[in-house]
Amino acid sequence: MGYSCGYDGGGSSYSGSTFVLIVVLFILLIIVGASFMY
């Protein structure tokens, strides 16, 4: 219980948003790295 991607409410919402934030930062890092390579 409480591990449905952070949309379950309670304490799992923090871990869900942290996971989304890490994914967004990783995608931005890939975009910046690709733009520097070309």
Over residues 1-26, mean pLDDT: 64
Of the pLDDT bands very low, low, confident and very high (cuts 50, 70, 90), residue 14 is: low
Task: Determine the Cα–Cα distance for residues 13 and 38; give it in Å rounded to an integer.
Answer: 38
* Higher-pLDDT residue of 6, 36: 36
* Tokens 């890092």 -> residue: 29
Task: Determine the Cα–Cα distance for residues 9 and 28; give it in Å rounded to an integer.
Answer: 28
12's tokens: 């799992």
Over residues 7-26, mean pLDDT: 70
User: Over pLDDT 70: what percentage of the chain?
Assistant: 58
Of the pLDDT bands very low, low, confident and very high (cuts 50, 70, 90), residue 37 is: confident
**21 and 13 Cβ atoms separated by less than 8 Å:** no
